Structure 1
Amino acid sequence: MNVFLGTSASSGIGIGKAFVVPETVKRVIPRKKIEESEHDQQWAHFEKSLANVSTDISEKIAESKDNKIQNQLYETYFLMLNDPEFIKELKKAFYSHSLNIEFVLDRQTAKYAKQLRSSGNDYLAERALDIYDIFGKVLDDMLDFHPFDIESVPNGVVIVANQLNPSDTIILSKRKIAGLALTEGGISSHVGILARNYGIPAVFALDNIASQIENGETVVVDGNNAEVFADPDNTSLENFQKKIDEEKAHRLMLEKFRNVEAQTKDGVKFHIYANIGTVEEAKLALEEGADGIGLFRTEFLFMSETNGGRSSLFDEEEQFKAYKQVLQIMNGKPVTIRTLDAGGDKLINSPEIHINEEKNPLMGLRAIRLSLENPMQLKTQLRALYRASVFGNLKIMLPLITNVEQVKKTLEIAESVRNELASEKIEFNPDVPIGIMVETAADALTADCLAKVSDFFSIGTNDLTQYTIGVDRENASVAPLYDEFHLAVLRMIQNTISEAEKAGIDVSVCGEMASRKTGALVLAGMGIRNLSMSPAMICKIKELLSKYTIKELKSISSKQLNSL
């Protein structure tokens, strides 16, 4: 039996015969010199293929109305295809060079995908595959290229592949796939989101997995422990099948936690919130029994929506509608909306923002730094947020704050926005709390100072861990060093909690640590009473907390803090 370790993208255990997706004949993109007289004809050829793919996606939008996640993916693809800013840049690049349209489109797609991957934002980085998927369909239409037919995959198999497109995942869901074992992809990728939506166990980040498993070999995908087993013996298979049966019974039992308060065995109450990235996910959060939204990422507003050739980041009305929808869906429950957490002028697709190319975007001009460098962008977002505030219980959160001055500058802009709205006689809630994400050592070690200018703290354990121990968790070479329970990380969390309590402000955790068994227990024992996570994990964490007393939780966290 061979065991492969990866990253869990969807929980659960699946057993099936391996279907190794072949590395299809590569799409060959010709690079040809063309005459100026050929430009119009080639552009018309592109527009025809674009229209063909757009029509196909429109039909899929209509067909998928009953599946929120699937429908959302197709709507995002349609918006990408018809993004006027992308088309404008493509046309400019094409007409300014004497190269064929297929080559220019392929190059522009790769350029945009690279910018997404280097954005310093996990959610946006995962959208790179979406870009390749949808514009790959346009290229296939232009070249009359027919890749591997994913519809030929039989029922009940485990898909083993280096990469899988989101659109392929939707097709595979109809085949009752037992599991996914992939090299590419992450928890925030659309393939990961779809796998969780369909209940398909999935493990990603498996190094060159398609060349290490034989077609037809029995494979077990353990999404609970991020492991894949090839050719297990009969005893192991029996044990895995037993676990599958236990999980089915456990899922039915979890239903009773959906609409009850989270509390410990001795009655100490917790708030379990949801992390979301779209309006549709707010509905899912409510269905799963969330006490509110602990983190609403607003990046999708400028990544997938456009208006008249400008990013909707600069469209106050579009933002207002999205924020209003989420607040109304949550019906009075708290909704914490994070301001823009991204960087890169091409990524934002806007002439208003210009950023020099950066060698290390993760450490560069992004998040609140970008917003303060471009105050009109921040002002527009704050106007939309304040206007929406009358429709629910809104809280505003600022990302990547590293000093008090950044908070003060943002509060000054917020005050000017409130004054503007008042003079325009536009209704808004003037008392919307404004807090910060604690995600660097600078925040955690100066939490006492930041607490004086913040209404609340939300600890982003993903970046806090990454920045504290200097490890890129997406880099397979150093990923084993990524440790949320590193003593330095735990001490920073502890200091943040302590200073928040002294200042009398709320503190929550919205990183992945909050949704993991050990992480949730340790955080609860350290004094965290507000945890925010993927909607799919809410009932599991409620059930987990109900098994322990506060004394037991404190003992667990104490052991972790004193383990080194």
Structure 2
Amino acid sequence: MEVFLGIPAADGIGIGTAFVIPEAVKRAIPQHHINIDQINRGWTRFENAVQTVTVNLSEQLDSLSRTDQRDKAQREIFETYVLMLEDPVFKEEVRDFYKKELFNIEYTVQFKAEEYASKLRQSGNDYLAERAQDITDIFGRVLDEMLDIHPFDINSVPDGSVILATSLSSSDTIVLSKRKIAGLALTEGGVSSHVVILARNYGIPTVVGLEAITSKVRNGETVIIDGKAAELLVSPARSTIEEYKQKIREEYLRKQSLKAFLNKPAITKDGILFKLYANIGTPEEAEMALAEGADGIGLFRTEFLYMAQSGASMNAAARSFSEQTQFEAYKTVLQTMGDKPVTIRTLDAGGDKLINSVDIPVFDEKNPLMGLRAVRLCLECPNVFKTQLRALYRASVYGNLKIMFPLITSVEQVKQCLEIVNQVQTELSNEKIPFKKDTPVGIMVETAAAALISDCLVNVTDFFSLGTNDLTQYTLGVDRENSHVSSLYNEFSLAVLRLIEMTIRAGNDANIPVSVCGEMAGKSDSIMVLAGMGIRNLSMSPKHISSTKELLSHFTIAELEAISAKHLNNL
């Protein structure tokens, strides 16, 4: 047996079969002229590739249910792809260009596909613009077949696997969450990376910082992953497997005992009430939050909607996320939660959250985490922002909605956002579309700038939500996705705690609610510190709600304040 040590990321134990995800191969299209006598040979390769891709799509179509709504979108995409591959007009255009210009067939296919897609994008028609991405995607698959490149499809991972990879995208993790995955063992990624946050939400045991792990373990080997101990055990003895099975049984019994808190309020030993909300990334997770006894949704990360859509397969093309699609998603969450509050964060794309969407331009940035991301990106792309705000306000009549802006750094930024809110409300009023005008609008406090001017920001916002992941990252100058500097990422840094305390004081003085929705809200040691600092609203992974209720029931507020004072250096 070999034991590999990493960095603990998401608690839990998994026993399964190792599945090593290969490194992605980038497609490089050669460009050169050919002789006339090479034309037929190249065209035959193209037609063979089209036939192979068509057959593969047909097989995937056959595997999808015709009645299950979850398969509906994927069926529509695949059916569109097949029609495009069989389009005689487009194929004839490719052939004419090929014979006339005498470029190699790979370059010809890429050129004509991009040319056609560009025309559709410039048509001014949303539907045709989305078909442009289908063209890019499906003929990209044809090119991969011609170049003998076979991108790995995350959907091919079998149930019961412990995934070993250098890194995973957030969209890959969303796909894996819908499977019975035993664990994740990654080389890259920090303890507060978005992949790890998702893994915690979905209850997938995860260890990061396992150097070159994909070259040290073979596919098919039996492995045990222990997220809390940060261990990966390869080819363990039968006695070791039994030992860990017993630990899994004990953890199961522990979870069963926590069900006693499921329908109870979160109250300290001396009767102080807390509100425990859930962090979610998809509409489906709202059901999970409700089942775990959440008092509402404290953070709906809407960027994961984009990731989930593009994450249908590794080959998925960039797509537009329309107002109607967003409206339906927000409406579903609000209706699921009934009269419980639902805080939806506007798009937090860019930086470490790369989104494959035609609506969002790709920027080449040397330091993307400090660049055009979150609210900055929304203000740079006001049409994207307005589309989301329209969908949010339309959905507001179906529940108890709160809207939240991410990565705020100035009062002026909030005012710019509110100007667009006013534009959207005026448009909806003119169109006679119902919405709740008094929907609360708040901000994320996740930069030192926001915390330092929190006494000014209270004048332009209805509530604060502390995003402790980015607040820690930006305050300490530590990349939270980087396992090499993970030892420097410290949420209990006095600098971070003082900024949190400053924000709480500003909120209390202005009588506006302050909550915490970062990872600190779901960890026992930090929950005690935050509670002692005066926080009474916490938003976390749904799976942590019952254990947090149990924890709070063991302490009085005075005891929690004493714990906080020790960390705060008696502020």
In the superposition, the TM-score normalised over structure 1's length comes to 0.75
Mapped pair 1:278 → 2:251: no
Compared CA separation, residues 453 and 206, structure 1 to 2 (3 A): same
Q: Any conservation in 2 of the 1:2–1:231 contact (CA below 8 Å)?
A: no
CA deviation string 1:107-151 (max 9, x = no partner): x9xxxxxxxxxxxxxxxxxxxxxxxxx999988766778899999
The residue correspondences of 1:491-510 to structure 2 (distance < 5 A) are 491-510=498-517
* Cα distance, 1:450 vs structure 2: 0.4
SS in 1 for 2:484: coil
* Cα distance, 1:327 vs structure 2: 0.8
The residue correspondences of 1:46-445 to structure 2 (distance < 5 A) are 48-59=51-62, 61-62=64-65, 101=106, 162=166, 179-183=183-187, 197=202, 201-212=205-216, 220-228=224-232, 243-303=247-307, 305=309, 311-313=319-321, 315-343=322-350, 347=355, 349-350=357-358, 356-445=363-452
Compared CA separation, residues 146 and 369, structure 1 to 2 (3 A): closer
Mapped pair 1:4 → 2:5: yes
The residue identity in structure 2 corresponding to 1:13 is: I
Separation (CA, whole Å) in 1 of partners of 2:318 and 2:20: 40
Name the % identity.
51
Query: Which of structures 1 and 2 has the bigger CA Rg?
Result: 2
SS in 2 for 1:477: helix
The residue identity in structure 2 corresponding to 1:378 is: F
Mapped pair 1:545 → 2:546: no
* Cα distance, 1:425 vs structure 2: 2.1
Q: Any conservation in 2 of the 1:102–1:142 contact (CA below 8 Å)?
A: no
The residue identity in structure 1 corresponding to 2:230 is: A
Using the TM superposition, name which of 205-214 and 416-425 deviates more: 205-214
Gaps of 5+ in 2: 86-92, 114-137, 311-316
Separation (CA, whole Å) in 1 of partners of 2:390 and 2:543: 32
Q: Partner of 2:124 in structure 1?
A: none
Q: Partner of 1:515 in structure 2?
A: 522
The residue identity in structure 1 corresponding to 2:489 is: Y
Separation (CA, whole Å) in 2 of partners of 1:408 and 1:65: 44
* Cα distance, 1:455 vs structure 2: 0.2
The residue identity in structure 2 corresponding to 1:437 is: M
Separation (CA, whole Å) in 2 of partners of 1:235 and 1:496: 52
Q: Any conservation in 2 of the 1:444–1:493 contact (CA below 8 Å)?
A: yes
Separation (CA, whole Å) in 1 of partners of 2:140 and 2:541: 30
Q: Any conservation in 1 of the 2:19–2:161 contact (CA below 8 Å)?
A: no
Compared CA separation, residues 425 and 56, structure 1 to 2 (3 A): same
Q: Any conservation in 2 of the 1:61–1:75 contact (CA below 8 Å)?
A: no
Compared CA separation, residues 81 and 494, structure 1 to 2 (3 A): farther
Q: Any conservation in 2 of the 1:170–1:194 contact (CA below 8 Å)?
A: no
Compared CA separation, residues 236 and 512, structure 1 to 2 (3 A): same
Compared CA separation, residues 434 and 52, structure 1 to 2 (3 A): farther
* Cα distance, 1:378 vs structure 2: 2.1
Gaps of 5+ in 1: 109-133
* Cα distance, 1:363 vs structure 2: 1.2
CA deviation string 1:258-291 (max 9, x = no partner): 2322222222211111111111122222222211
Paired positions, count? 517
The residue identity in structure 1 corresponding to 2:479 is: D
In the superposition, the TM-score normalised over structure 2's length comes to 0.74
Q: Partner of 2:13 in structure 1?
A: 13
Separation (CA, whole Å) in 2 of partners of 1:152 and 1:274: 30
CA deviation string 1:141-189 (max 9, x = no partner): 6677889999999998866565689599969967xx7654343567877
* Cα distance, 1:424 vs structure 2: 2.4
Q: Any conservation in 2 of the 1:436–1:458 contact (CA below 8 Å)?
A: yes
Q: Partner of 1:455 in structure 2?
A: 462
SS in 2 for 1:454: coil
